[in-house]
Amino acid sequence: MVNASQHAPGQRAHIIFQTLSENDTHCVQFSYFLYSRDGHSPGTLGVYVRVNGGPLGSAVWNMTGSHGRQWHQAELAVSTFWPNEYQVLFEALISPDHKGYIGLDDILLFSYPCAKAPHFSRLGDVEVNAGQNASFQCMAAGRAAEAEHFFLQRQSGVLVPAAGVRHISHRRFLATFPLASVGRSEQDLYRCVSQAPRGAGVSNFAELIVKEPPTPIAPPQLLRAGPTYLIIQLNTNSIIGDGPIVRKEIEYRMARGPWAEVHAVNLQTYKLWHLDPDTEYEISVLLTRPGDGGTGRPGPPLISRTKCAEPTRAPKGLAFAEIQARQLTLQWEPLGYNVTRCHTYAVSLCYRYTLGGSHNQTIRECVKMERGASRYTIKNLLPFRNIHVRLILTNPEGRKEGKEVTFQTDEDVPGGIAAESLTFTPLEDMIFLKWEEPQEPNGLITQYEISYQSIESSDPAVNVPGPRRTISKLRNETYHVFSNLHPGTTYLFSVRARTSKGFGQAALTEITTNISAPSFDYADMPSPLGESENTITVLLRPAQGRGAPISVYQVVVEEERPRRLRREPGAQDCFSVPLTFETALARGLVHYFGAELAASSLLEAMPFTVGDNQTYRGFWNPPLEPRKAYLIYFQAASHLKGETRLNCIRIARKAACKESKRPLEVSQRSEEMGLILGICAGGLAVLILLLGAIIVIIRKGRDRYAYSYYPKPVNMTKATVNYRQEKTHMMSAVDRSFTDQSTLQEDERLGLSFMDAPGYSPRGDQRSGGVTEASSLLGGSPRRPCGRKGSPYHTGQLHPAVRVADLLQHINQMKTAEGYGFKQEYESFFEGWDATKKKDKLKGGRQEPVSAYDRHHVKLHPMLADPDADYISANYIDIRINRQHHPRRLQQGLSSVVLAPAMLLGV
C-alpha cells in the first residue's frame, strides 16, 4: 500500500517477484487498489516482465487514475519457455497530484491458463536480408476483448502497434506486425504484448535478424587456361556481408564487350567452356545468401586470356604389324594440322604390362616418337603377356590420349620350375611330391612331365640305377603320389612344364624313401624243435631287410602272465629297449633279452636253445623255470642313417609243467559228500595209522625223492633260506601230527598240517645224508617229464587238486618220472611184497611190513571256492594194491576221484 500524499511526485515503489522458469502454462493473478477522494489519480501501477535478467523495457500492463474505493482483479499471462527464465516486477509511480492510495494484494501464481488474459504461442525468430520487409506473426489463445490492444514490444522499449488482428476461431486470433525495409539498426529482440484493463499477455522474446548480402573481397584465381576454356578458383573464403552462401555464380564477358552469361557454380573451381582461343575475358563472382534480396554485388573481376587450341583428337588406327614372343611392332595413321591444331606437337606411345609373380609388379614405359613417324617396335617384352598400349598427342596448349588397346605377345617355352618349390613327404614305399607352377610360364601350361629312377639303395636286392619312368600330369595337377617304391632307396626326380612351344627346363631333386621293418619268413608260429624242463629249442630263420640290411637279431623271452599283467607286443610294438635278465629282474619286468646275434651269424635257418645258460653278446640266456610259462619272440632290427626299424614275431610258447592252474574248488555237493564220508572216518582210523607208519618208514630211506606238487614261484636269491625255514616248520608239524593219531579229529589235524603249512615241500627225514632241491613244472606236458633233476629253482607250496580227467596222466608220470620222487617209491613199494624182500626191507630201516591188501586212506579237503565245481566230494579213498594187478586196480580206483597232492606222498 502506497500513500501518495506522503511521497513526492515521480517516486517509485517496487515489488519484485521470484524468478520463474516456465515448463508449463503460468498465470499470475493479483488485486490492485487505486483511489483518490477528489478523483485525481494517485499515480500509475505498472507491471514489467524481465527475461533472463535483461532490461525491464516497457511495462506490459499499467493502470492509472482513481477507480473507486474498491479492489480490482487483473491477470498476467506469461509465455516465456524453458530454459529461459523471467521475473515479474510491480511498480507504483507517484503522480504529480500525489493524493490517494495505490494498493496491491493477493498475488497468486497458477499453473493453468488465465481466464481473462490471452496466452501467446511461442514466437520464432525472423531473419531477413538488409533492405527487405520483415513481419512477426503473434498467435494467441483466449478471448480478445474489444478494448484489447496488441503491440510488438522491442527490448529497448519501443512499441509497434499491430497492423491487424485476425480471429481464427472464437478462442484463437493472429496479430500481424510488419516491419518495412529493415536494416542493421532494426535488429533487436521483439515480443508480443496484449493490454486490457482486465490483464495482459506477454510472449517470449524473438530476434529480428538482419543479414547483409555477401560480396567477395578478392577476384577469382586462374588455375588453368586453354584455347577454349578457363579454369578458375572462386576465392569466396573472404567476403563482405553475412552468410551462409547458398548459391555461387560466375559472371563473365569479353573485355571489350557487354556481359555475356551467368553460370551457377557448385564447387570452388569452375571451368568456363566454349571460349574463343586467344581472347581476353573479365570474370566476376556473385554470392547469394538465403531469403529475398540475398544476392550481393559482384566481386572484383579477373581478366585472363585463352591459349592456342589443343588437338582435336588423339591419333587413330593403332594396330599391330607383327607379333612375336618378345617384341611387338605397332603402326597408326599419319597426323595432319587439322588434328594437331598447332605446328608444334609430339606423339608419345605409352605401354604397360605385368611381370607376374607374388608381387605382381607392373612395368610402365612411354616412348616419344619422332615427328611424322607412324610405326614403332617394342622390344624386350615377356612371352604370353598382355601389353596395354595407347597413343598421346600433345602440343603446347594441350594433349589428347587415345584409347588403350591391348595386344598379347606370343607363347614361348616355359621357364624352369624353381627347385625350392619342390616339396615332398617320403614314406617307406611311396613318396608324395608337390611342385609349383614356373615363375615364368611364358604361355599356357598344358602338361607337367615327371621322370624318376632309383640311383642308390641300401637294399642289395634293389637294382640301381633302375629303369627311368615318366608320368604326365594335367596343368592343374601340381602333385603326385609315387607308389610301389623300394624302401631305403634314393630316387632322382625331374619335373618340367610344357606349353604349346615345347618343354621348359627341368627341376631336379633327390628323395630317399624311409626304410621298413624287416620281414620274417614265418607263415604260422612254428613248433619247437625240442623242449625240456629248462630249455626250449626253436628254429631261427634269417629275416629279409627292407631298405636296409639286418643289423642285429635278438631273442626275447617273456614270462606269460595274466592278460592284465602281460605285455602284448603288437605289429608296431616290439621290444625297442634291450633288457638283460638281471635288469628285468631288478625292475620287475616280465621280459628280457636272452640273446643278441649278429646279422652275419644267421645267414640261414639254424636252431637255437632258449635257456642254455650261455651269454650272447652281453645277454645271459638263463635256464627257464619249469613252473612258469614263457613266450619266445624273435626280433630283427635294421639301422640306417639314424633310422631304426624293428620287427618281432612270436616263434614259440613254452608251457609250464601243469598248464591247468585251477585253484582248489569244491562244490556244495562235495561238502555234503564230505559229511557222509566223515561218518565213516572213525572206522578207518586204524588203517590211517598203518598208512602213516608205512609213509614214515618209506620216507626215512628215501629222502632224496621228496617232491612238491604244484610249487609256488620263489625268488632264487632266497631259495635256501626259505627252504630251511619251510622244512623246519613242516617237519615239526609232521611230527606233531604223528604223535597222536587215535581219533578222527587228530587224523583231520594231520591232513590240515600238510595243507596249511606255508611253503610246504616234503623233504624226507632229516637224518638222510643230502637234500636235493626240487621244483616242478606248471602244467604237466605229455611231451616231457616234470621231474626234480636239473631244476635250478626252489619251489615249495601246495597247489590245488588235480582234475579227475588228468589224474591218470599224473599217476603215470609219478611212476616213471624222476622229478616227482615217486618212481623209486613205487617200485620199491611193490618189491616189498616178496616175502624175502620184506625181511631185507625191515633190516634196512623199515619199521613194519605192509600187507598187500592194507587199506590206505587219503584225506581230501573240501573246495569252498566254487560250489559248482566238477570235483568229487569224498574224504577218504580205499586203495587196494596187490602184486599181480595193482596198476589196474590203482587206475580203476582213482579214475573217478580227486586226490589231495599232500596225501599222494603217502601213496
Given this model, what pLDDT does residue 813 score?
57
Distance CA 270, CA 279 (A): 18
Query: Nearest-CA neighbor of 741 among 662, 857, 639, 841?
Result: 857
Reported in sequence order, the residue ranges of 722-764 that DSSP labels E, i.e. its strands, are none
- Please give the share of the chain, as a percent, with pLDDT higher than 70: 72
Are 73 and 204 contained in the same domain?
A: yes
- Please give the share of the chain, as a percent, with pLDDT higher than 90: 39
| DSSP of 540-607 | E-PPEEESS---EEEEEEEE---TTTS----TT----S---HHHHHHHT-SEEEEEEEEGGG-SS-EE
Are 37 and 169 contained in the same domain?
A: yes
pLDDT in tens, 63-102: 999 999 999 999 999 988 888 899 999 999 999 887 899 9
503 inside domain: yes
Of 211 and 747, the structure prediction assigns the larger pLDDT to 211
Of 259 and 858, the structure prediction assigns the larger pLDDT to 259
Rounded to 10 deg, the angle between the 719-739 and 744-756 helix axes is 180
* End residue of a domain, out of 622, 638, 654: 654
Distance CA 200, CA 28 (A): 10
pLDDT in tens, 483-503: 999 898 999 999 999 998 899
Distance CA 45, CA 34 (A): 8
3-state SS assignment for residue 810 = helix
Query: Nearest-CA neighbor of 26 among 113, 141, 125, 153?
Result: 113
**At residue 822, does pLDDT exceed 60?**
no
Are 196 and 120 contained in the same domain?
A: yes
**At residue 670, does pLDDT exceed 80?**
no
Distance CA 96, CA 8 (A): 8
Distance CA 243, CA 442 (A): 65
680 inside domain: no
Q: Which one-letter amino acid corresponds to residue 777?
A: L
pLDDT band at 874 (very low <50, low <70, confident <90, very high): very low
Give the DSSP H/E element, type plus range, for residue 756.
helix 744-756
Contact present, 631 and 653 (Cβ < 8 Å): yes
Distance CA 456, CA 462 (A): 9
Are 188 and 110 contained in the same domain?
A: yes
pLDDT band at 534 (very low <50, low <70, confident <90, very high): very high
* End residue of a domain, out of 259, 277, 306: 306
pTM: predicted TM-score of the whole model, two decimal places? 0.40
| Lowest-pLDDT range of 214-228, 542-556, 699-713 | 699-713
Which backbone phi and psi does 756 adopt, to 5 degrees?
Answer: -95, -15
The alpha carbon of residue 6 and the mean position of all alpha carbons in its chain are separated, in whole angstroms, by 99
**At residue 662, does pLDDT exceed 50?**
no
Q: Is 666 exposed, middle or buried (0-12, 13-18, 19+ CB in 10 A)?
A: buried
Find the farthest-apart pair of alpha carbons in the chain and give their distance in angstroms, rounded.
191
| DSSP of 24-87 | S-EEEEEEEEEE-TTS---EEEEEEEEETT----S-SEEEES---SS-EEEEEEE---TT--EE
Mean pLDDT of the region 112-117: 89
pLDDT in tens, 392-421: 999 888 889 999 999 999 999 998 898 888
Distance CA 559, CA 753 (A): 33
Contact present, 573 and 541 (Cβ < 8 Å): no
837 inside domain: no
Given this model, what pLDDT does residue 803 score?
58
816 inside domain: no
**At residue 710, does pLDDT exceed 50?**
no
Mean pLDDT of the region 590-615: 93
* End residue of a domain, out of 601, 619, 654: 654
Mean pLDDT of the region 367-391: 91
Q: What is the CA radius of gyration of the chain?
A: 66
3-state SS assignment for residue 382 = coil
Distance CA 414, CA 496 (A): 9
| DSSP of 80-117 | --TT--EEEEEEEEE-TT--SEEEEEEEEEESS--SSS
**At residue 580, does pLDDT exceed 90?**
yes
Of 132 and 690, the structure prediction assigns the larger pLDDT to 132
Are 143 and 49 contained in the same domain?
A: yes
Are 174 and 221 contained in the same domain?
A: no
3-state SS assignment for residue 877 = coil
CB atoms within 10 A of CB 780: 25
| Lowest-pLDDT range of 450-454, 521-525, 689-693, 759-763 | 759-763
3-state SS assignment for residue 424 = strand
Half-sphere exposure of 651 toward its Cβ, with a 13 Å CA cutoff? Answer: 27
Residue with cell string 557487354: 258
Domains: count for the chain:
5
Mean residue pLDDT across the chain: 76
Are 36 and 65 contained in the same domain?
A: yes
pLDDT in tens, 310-358: 888 999 999 999 999 999 999 999 988 678 877 778 999 999 998 876 5
Contact present, 375 and 329 (Cβ < 8 Å): yes
366 inside domain: yes
781 inside domain: no
Domain that holds residue 61: 2-211
Q: Is 810 exposed, middle or buried (0-12, 13-18, 19+ CB in 10 A)?
A: buried
DSSP 8-state secondary structure symbol assigned to residue 814: H
Calculate the alpha carbon distances from 456 to 23, 160, 513 in Å.
101, 117, 11
Q: For residue 314, what is its C-alpha cell?
A: 588423339
Given this model, what pLDDT does residue 682 score?
67
Rounded to 10 deg, the angle between the 823-831 and 835-843 helix axes is 120
Q: Which one-letter amino acid corresponds to residue 339?
A: V
Given this model, what pLDDT does residue 757 score?
33
3-state SS assignment for residue 778 = coil
Contact present, 324 and 410 (Cβ < 8 Å): yes
Contact present, 43 and 2 (Cβ < 8 Å): yes
pLDDT in tens, 120-176: 999 999 999 998 999 999 999 887 777 788 999 998 878 888 888 888 888 888 999
| Lowest-pLDDT range of 270-284, 478-492, 752-766 | 752-766
Given this model, what pLDDT does residue 815 score?
57
| Lowest-pLDDT range of 409-413, 467-471, 534-538, 790-794 | 790-794
Are 448 and 478 contained in the same domain?
A: yes
Distance CA 783, CA 609 (A): 17
468 inside domain: yes
Query: Nearest-CA neighbor of 518 among 487, 484, 539?
Result: 487
Are 54 and 150 contained in the same domain?
A: yes
| Lowest-pLDDT range of 18-32, 475-489, 593-607, 685-699 | 685-699
Distance CA 846, CA 843 (A): 7
Given this model, what pLDDT does residue 98 score?
76
Are 231 and 372 contained in the same domain?
A: no
Q: From its phi and psi, is residue 42 left (phi > 0), alpha (psi between -120 and 50) or beta? A: alpha
Given this model, what pLDDT does residue 101 score?
93
DSSP 8-state secondary structure symbol assigned to residue 784: S
Distance CA 195, CA 445 (A): 100
Given this model, what pLDDT does residue 721 score?
33
CATH code of 357's domain: 2.60.40.10
Given this model, what pLDDT does residue 596 score?
94
pLDDT in tens, 838-852: 334 333 333 434 333
DSSP 8-state secondary structure symbol assigned to residue 623: P
Contact present, 118 and 77 (Cβ < 8 Å): yes
Are 588 and 444 contained in the same domain?
A: no
pLDDT in tens, 757-801: 333 333 333 333 332 222 222 233 334 445 444 433 333 333 445
Are 109 and 39 contained in the same domain?
A: yes
| Lowest-pLDDT range of 479-488, 616-625, 718-727, 765-774 | 765-774
Given this model, what pLDDT does residue 805 score?
56
202 inside domain: yes
Given this model, what pLDDT does residue 219 score?
94
